[in-house]
Structure 1
Amino acid sequence: MSNCTFINETSEGNNIGIEFGHATDIRNQSTGNTVIGMDLEVNTAIDILLHKTKYANNFIGLKVGYSSPAIQVQGSYANSFIGGVSSGIDFNSLSHDNRVIGMSLLGNDSIIVDNGTRNTYEKIFNISSGTQKESTDPYPSRSNNTVSVNGTVQINPFLSSYCVVSTTGSPINVTSVAKN
């Protein structure tokens, strides 16, 4: 299934709400699909499941994870999750280059778990606490900076969990950048 659009549907009381691909199939399929405004809840296993080589799918304004596990991305890449509300996302170690933009997390226990690489997050908001949330492993997780004498390096703690600053002399200026 490729280049399909699903608009304003619901999936409740199923084992899996939306599943792209199959756990044992390694072909590039289920690509370029768009899912808009769906309500997924009370599915027993998972609300959204993306297997291995499924890529370039867009999920826009979904409601997932009210009474069931929300989103699992198992090796899939280049997918976008834009807006909507979710009780969390779990990217496994094979997942990469996915984007989560403007999503609201449903509660204090709602998190984004990222064991993949180069997945990005922007404007993630927690409804219960009123705070912006970030991944447990934000990308880029390491920041390398080279600064000359009297130079300034800006470090964004929301995007870098480990920073290396190399200098050619001193003094240097180090500032922290708040995420807007």
Structure 2
Amino acid sequence: MNDFLKIAFRFIGLLFVQIFVMDQINFLGFINPMIYVLFIFLYPFENNRLAFLLISFGYGLIMDTFQDTGGAHAAACVTLTFFRPYLLKLVYGESYLMKNIKVLTTSLDRIFLFLVIGIFLHHLVFYGLVIFNASQIWEWLKMTFAVGTASVILGMVLLLIIKPKRS
């Protein structure tokens, strides 16, 4: 039951922070960091994959409801959730295959790499669907890079705050 409460707290907490804090930030007139995706990064590895895909879809739909983005968050969240095992295998290698890792207990360079690849994948899909115009490819890439960079920075700060200290 403890894991369920931890997952539920992250789900609700990150949504509230995203909706009521991050969505109010308008750095340089267009950058609103997306830290809600940390939920997908921190979701336990051993849980049911289909349930995780459905949870991610619902999570994205909630964001779509608040931001009026017509399913772009849901699609990006499901894409990130689908590719997450491949990203974990790429970043953590044998440790992931043996299922003996937890993201928060690994080294900062691995967490950073995992976060960078995952956030940029999410943002490429998200802004590709929001902009969806080949003539605005530079806008798509600018938004992906700028918001992705801000999301990685704030995501790392949050993860450093909640990362357990080694004794």
TM-score interval, smaller chain: under 0.3
Larger of the two Rg values belongs to structure = 1
More strand by share: 1
User: What TM-score do you get using the length of structure 1 for normalisation?
Assistant: 0.26
User: What TM-score do you get using the length of structure 2 for normalisation?
Assistant: 0.27
- Ranked by relative contact order (alpha carbons within 8 Å, sequence separation 6 or more), the top structure is 2
More helix by share: 2
